[in-house]
Structure 1
Amino acid sequence: MKHDHYCGRRWNRRELVKKERAAYRARREAEMAKRRFLSTMSHDMRTPLNAILGMTRLAAANLEDHGRVLDCLEKMECSGKALAGLVSDVLEVSNMGRNSLTLKKEVYSIREFMECLGGMMEPAAAAKNQALIMDCRGLNHEIAEFDFMRLNQVMTNLISNAIKFTPEGGVIRVDVTEPEPGREQRARFRFCISDTGTGIGKEFMENLFLTFEREQDGRIDKTGGCGIGMSMAGKLVELMEGRIEVQSTPGQGTSVAVVLDLNVLENGFTSADRETDLIEAMGAHPEFCGKHFLLIEDNELNLEIARELLLGMGAAVDTARDGNEGVECFRKASEYYYDLILTDIHMPVMNGYEAAHVIRSLRNSGRRDASSVPILAMTADAFAEDVRAAKAAGMTSHLAKPLDFFVMKQEISRALDEAGHFVM
């Protein structure tokens, strides 16, 4: 019995040592992956930052050369978008574990979506002397219901990968087809990105959709990238109840297809149509002439940007530097003086949520417009829970930074219409 008991203890000790070693290896691998990620992320963030700072200095040194300044500004914008996209990708991936991503489905033209996508990705392909071919000839239905932003995130990540891992002078094709007959008001779309790049090794294919993983290969290490594009694409396609198909041959190229079942319309008024109308209206006359907006923002640069955008839309703009100052501006103004309030969230003294709550509570003291004035959150916090928090505080809508002129204009128009303030 003693011998059996001793063997049992020795066996348990061996199992314990085995588990401890496995746990140690897992921790070490996780730490190494973290270090690789931080190293790569540092490089990828500093690259566009360096371009932005460098182009700023070049523009300042060549103010009299209009063409040079314009070229610098275009390159700064491109680098800024790349940096913003990188930050968004990291935040999206970190947020996926909380299952808080949502879809916002609207009616769009697939053809116009592809044209927009091609226009956005063409400069990156042209910089490497690559041919970017966008083909919609396989479409049977043009108008469909989908989340434009989420599908755009998926496709830009996949096309960016194709451009990144395809050598100079290569070819990237983006085809959208309907591979099989659809049911009534429902169709299957296949968005396929094919390249003539380095391809993916068989061993790495199993880890393709793991967060922050990149293939360790001398052919591709110099291309950079933090390894989140495929992971995020996979998560978003899963959210859209679709699937991703990958075929690759090392040294010959890769084909990645996104397959989605979407509601379709024979005819429809698309969001792109609405944006076209919006642009035409903007060219005709400033849309918010005669409107008084209150802008609450503690960051001077962000305040200047938002104020100039609003002034460009024709509105009169009062400003406040924190939530408490914003509340006092509203309190001292006559009833219905302000048609709309835009507020940052993270501010000293009183944050945006608190300011919105205080303004709404003024209705209890007889301030009739306190319950109806639209209040828009204007913040870099852009997750689903942030949108819910804004609603819970009494806010009307949510604008994500960096501010998009047309999105901002649409949200303000919608908020004013819902409040009964019709835009002239």
Structure 2
Amino acid sequence: MGKRTSRFLSISLALISLFCILIFVGQAAYINYLGENALRQLGVFYMSGISQQVASHFGTTMELRLSQVESIVNSVPPGRYSNETSMRIGLTYNARSIGFEYLAFYTDDGSFHMLYGSQVTADVPEALHSSVQGGKYNVSAGKDAKGTPVVLIGVPAHYAMSDGSASVALVAGLPVSYLGDILESNIQSDLIEYSIIRGDGSYVLRNGSIEEQNYFDLVERLYQPYNGKTPAQYASELRTALTNGENYTSEIMISDEHWNIYCTRLPNSEWNLLFKISHSTLDETVNLLRNKWTYISIGGCCLIICALLLAFFLIFWRYYHLTKKQMQALDEARRIAEEAMLSAERSNKAKNEFLSNMSHDIRTPMNGIMGMASVAMSNLDNPARLRSCLKKIHVSGRHLSGLINDMLDLSKIENKNLVLNRNPICLRDIMQNITTIIQPQIQEKKQHFYAYAHDICFENVYSDRVRLSQILLNTVGNAVKFTPEGGTIEVDLYEEPSPRGKLYVRSHLHVRDNGIGMAEEFQARIFDAFAREDNARVDKEAGAGMGLTITKHIIDAMGGTVTVKSRQGKGSHFHITLDMEKILPQKVLPDLPRRNLLVIDDDAIASSLAVTSLESIGLQAEAASEPEQAFRMIEEHRGREDRYHLILLDWDMEGQNGNAIAKELSGRFGQELPILLLTEGEWDESEKSEETAAVRGFISKPLFRSNLYEGLRPFLEAPALPQDREEEAAPDLTGKRILMAEDNELNWEIANAILSEFGLVMEWAENGQICVEKFEQSPPAGYDAILMDLRMPVMTGFEAASAIRRSKREDARTIPIIAVSADAFEDDIQKCLDHGMNAHTSKPIDAEKILSLLRQYLR
């Protein structure tokens, strides 16, 4: 019985195996037959598809290149520069930065006036000329002086040239090999021959060793009669397709070998893309696939036979598989448990590190405040010492406030309560405020600080003033903190068109330093909360690791980007981009009277930008990099019509400050040349001395056109700018009666001392109930506004505000109630509004913000 069963199973297994082999052999033969026909058809579709793909990519690339040339014209528009040299430098700089190897003015007589690169000529001058004359963009071919083929990209632009003529277009050029790179990057195959031809058959680009200069000559020489067509008929069909701008496809015979040919028009040009692929290539592909199908079929058959042999072990295998899965599940559960324990340990460690850092950071300014307060009390009869102590107390207080604000901001971010206030701002004011704030730290560490602003066409935009200042202060402050004494920090701000549309402008901010830098692995988590590099190099620097986290979240909320590049010991580079809405129309600055100015600055970048900005407001300017050069230039121009009318002198020059240079200028040339200092931050009046007697004023860096204009106008007799109506209409707060509800006597004394200085008449209510009673007992309009603390005994600020609004007095619903509280979260502000208050401002008391709110509601 066992032998019969074994024999039956053996015969059954053999028959099943034979049946499987026959099925697989038949299937392989049939699939090979279908595959051979399908692959030939796929060859046609492949070539058609790849030609469309290449043509589309070519069109996109040419559109990009045309837009780049157009952006060059937009960045240096005709008529912007009165100095041709500056205009040429600007065009050359922008074109080279994009990667163009040739740049030229194209004139009405068909001539190219090269800005850089060797002389070029157009292969078909008529096409280029007719396009740019008609105000159209053009892509054509040409050659340079060495005979190298060149792609010419022309955009209509009318620039005035020194010989009195004007260009009709700006033409940028790239080697024709650039087109080959475009094609090869899309074709990615050595089996396809391609070329670019014009409508007359002449070549623009070819990838084979072809003797003919015209493709139709190649057709006449190499094509053989095929499918009833002669070479002349093929050439005629192709000419017709090229003339009509139609796609062309055909099968041809060359040297007894079948080929497929495809031709299609390239967009943004008068060129055509031509492909050829040999049938032998497809035949090789078909044979290769046939063999693969055969091998696959045989392999599949063998696998099935093996599967039959292994069927006896299926139950055991299934059991083994289930057991293995159970073990894997147990291992995964153990791994998750271990990770949870490690995560809890890391969380506890992070909390401990955070509390340790915050304890250190809070105690540092607190010790400064308490220590300086003790010193001040011991030196009440020494005004200078007292003033110094108070200044240090103020600085420590602002630092402590910043730490608390950082914690509140981080809490808002974690609770997704970060809200942006979109208001009109001036980029110039933001930049100058940041440089003024950061200057004390710069001076203390004897660092070199450079701030640049260029290509700023829209100074006034809509953004969140506080958050934008926070981004700048955190980023620049971080650079100052981690740059050693004598190091260098550079801040560069510029604008370009925004991809969001014409109503927006994209601002780029680069912050570079040559400080201690960061390890590559730390850069990946630099924006994580409480992240601080575990390194002895940074342990001495205070900070809880929240500043850059908050900065990143604010930038994300504004729709911007931030990147960082850094190397240990080489410094760091932060790049921030923000798209902000323009305020239209921008204030137009009238041209200043044409005068000659001399800029003295050893920073080549700053002096070049200063000259460009001065020329943009109608002035003539030259630069000198060191004092002796400046003295020679002043002496040469002295007594001539082009003499200098004003000197702009950098205050912080390498090896010699502006004071000594100003004194020497005054000694040599007397008072005939007014001197204005260029400074980072505000000019400290206490620094004036006999050496600065010749200095007539100062202008803060970075140099914007508006602050240059305002700083120079008094010395060049320019018309005054109209004052903003809001400034003229700002109400006088002198004598306004303010009722302040505050349960803390010290807070009341501080607010009373600060606000009384501005002419306000302050009255104190010790809690919310007393505030309501004083309001009820006052005569009509007895108080002009109420400042309301929120957390008070007896009656809170919320309850007091609601009670006042419910009062039957006529002024109960109109009197402004402004919350002044340390509760500064978004839900606290909304709760104030829900209880009838008009606005909210946070503690510590910000006099400027309170005065601004009072002026707003007491108009």
Does the alignment reach a TM-score above 0.5? yes
Is the aligned partner of 1:383 residue 2:702?
no
1:309-351 deviations in Å (ceiling 9; x for gaps): 3322222222111111111111122232111111101111111
Is the aligned partner of 1:319 residue 2:764?
yes
Counterpart residue number, 1:95: 412
Counterpart residue number, 1:258: 576
Is the aligned partner of 1:308 residue 2:753?
yes
Partner of residue 185 from structure 1, selected from 503, 513, 523 = 503
Q: So what's the TM-score if we normalise by structure 1?
A: 0.90
Partner of residue 421 from structure 2, selected from 104, 126, 130 = 104
Separation in 2, partners of 1:382, 1:216: 33
Counterpart residue number, 1:147: 464
Is the aligned partner of 1:400 residue 2:842?
yes
Separation in 2, partners of 1:68, 1:277: 37
RCO greater where, 1 or 2, for CA within 8 Å and sep 6 or more? 1
Counterpart residue number, 2:363: 46
Deviates more, 1:245-254 or 1:5-14: 5-14
Counterpart residue number, 1:84: 401
Is the aligned partner of 1:411 residue 2:411?
no
Query: Structure 1 residues 6 and 91, CA, compared in 2 at 3 Å: closer, same or farther?
Result: same
Query: Structure 1 residues 180 and 288, CA, compared in 2 at 3 Å: closer, same or farther?
Result: closer
SS at match of 1:236: helix
Separation in 2, partners of 1:245, 1:20: 36
- Equivalences for 1:361-380 in 2 at 5 Å? 361-362=806-807, 366-380=808-822
1:67-107 deviations in Å (ceiling 9; x for gaps): 11111111111111111111101110111122211111222
SS at match of 2:491: strand
Is the aligned partner of 1:295 residue 2:612?
no
SS at match of 2:858: helix
How many angstroms does 1:289 deviate by?
A: 2.9
How many angstroms does 1:7 deviate by?
A: 6.0
Is the CA contact (8 Å cut-off) linking 2:447 and 2:485 kept in structure 1?
A: yes
Deviates more, 1:381-390 or 1:393-402: 381-390
How many angstroms does 1:369 deviate by?
A: 1.2
Partner of residue 120 from structure 1, selected from 437, 446, 451 = 437
Q: Which residues of structure 2 form unaligned runs of 5+? A: 1-317, 589-705, 707-722
Counterpart residue number, 1:29: 346
SS at match of 1:376: strand
Partner of residue 199 from structure 1, selected from 517, 525, 528 = 517
The amino acid that maps onto 2:801 is: A
Counterpart residue number, 1:227: 545
SS at match of 1:222: coil
The amino acid that maps onto 2:526 is: L
Query: Structure 1 residues 354 and 274, CA, compared in 2 at 3 Å: closer, same or farther?
Result: farther
Deviates more, 1:309-318 or 1:112-121: 309-318
The amino acid that maps onto 2:812 is: A
SS at match of 1:178: strand
Identity of aligned residues (%): 33
How many angstroms does 1:108 deviate by?
A: 2.0
Is the CA contact (8 Å cut-off) linking 1:33 and 1:213 kept in structure 2?
A: no
Partner of residue 530 from structure 2, selected from 212, 217, 224 = 212
Separation in 1, partners of 2:825, 2:771: 25
SS at match of 1:409: helix
Separation in 2, partners of 1:147, 1:408: 18
The amino acid that maps onto 1:408 is: I
How many angstroms does 1:179 deviate by?
A: 4.4
Is the CA contact (8 Å cut-off) linking 2:517 and 2:566 kept in structure 1?
A: yes
How many angstroms does 1:138 deviate by?
A: 3.8
Is the aligned partner of 1:67 residue 2:384?
yes
Is the aligned partner of 1:267 residue 2:709?
no
Deviates more, 1:366-375 or 1:9-18: 9-18
SS at match of 2:577: strand
1:211-266 deviations in Å (ceiling 9; x for gaps): 00111112112112111111000000011111112111211110112100112235
How many angstroms does 1:361 deviate by?
A: 1.1
Is the aligned partner of 1:340 residue 2:798?
no
Separation in 2, partners of 1:210, 1:330: 50
Separation in 2, partners of 1:276, 1:373: 22
- Equivalences for 1:148-167 in 2 at 5 Å? 148-167=465-484
Separation in 2, partners of 1:276, 1:400: 25
In terms of Rg, which structure is larger?
2
The amino acid that maps onto 1:198 is: I
Separation in 1, partners of 2:425, 2:397: 27
Deviates more, 1:5-14 or 1:403-412: 5-14
Separation in 1, partners of 2:753, 2:378: 25
Deviates more, 1:52-61 or 1:328-337: 328-337
Is the CA contact (8 Å cut-off) linking 1:380 and 1:401 kept in structure 2?
A: yes
The amino acid that maps onto 2:787 is: L
Q: So what's the TM-score if we normalise by structure 2?
A: 0.45
Separation in 1, partners of 2:826, 2:725: 24
SS at match of 2:521: helix
How many angstroms does 1:10 deviate by?
A: 4.6
Q: Which residues of structure 1 form unaligned runs of 5+? A: 418-424
Counterpart residue number, 2:259: none
Counterpart residue number, 2:692: none
The amino acid that maps onto 2:805 is: R
SS at match of 2:511: strand
SS at match of 2:540: helix
The amino acid that maps onto 1:207 is: R
Is the CA contact (8 Å cut-off) linking 1:343 and 1:378 kept in structure 2?
A: yes
Counterpart residue number, 1:422: none
The amino acid that maps onto 1:380 is: A
Is the CA contact (8 Å cut-off) linking 1:59 and 1:72 kept in structure 2?
A: yes
Query: Structure 1 residues 368 and 195, CA, compared in 2 at 3 Å: closer, same or farther?
Result: same
How many angstroms does 1:184 deviate by?
A: 2.8
Separation in 1, partners of 2:725, 2:801: 29
1:159-216 deviations in Å (ceiling 9; x for gaps): 1111111111111111111145775332110111111111111111111110001111
Separation in 1, partners of 2:442, 2:823: 31
Counterpart residue number, 1:421: none
Q: How many residues align?
A: 407
SS at match of 1:345: coil
Separation in 1, partners of 2:483, 2:556: 26
Deviates more, 1:216-225 or 1:82-91: 216-225
How many angstroms does 1:277 deviate by?
A: 4.5
Is the CA contact (8 Å cut-off) linking 2:819 and 2:837 kept in structure 1?
A: yes
Is the CA contact (8 Å cut-off) linking 2:369 and 2:397 kept in structure 1?
A: yes
Partner of residue 244 from structure 1, selected from 553, 558, 562 = 562
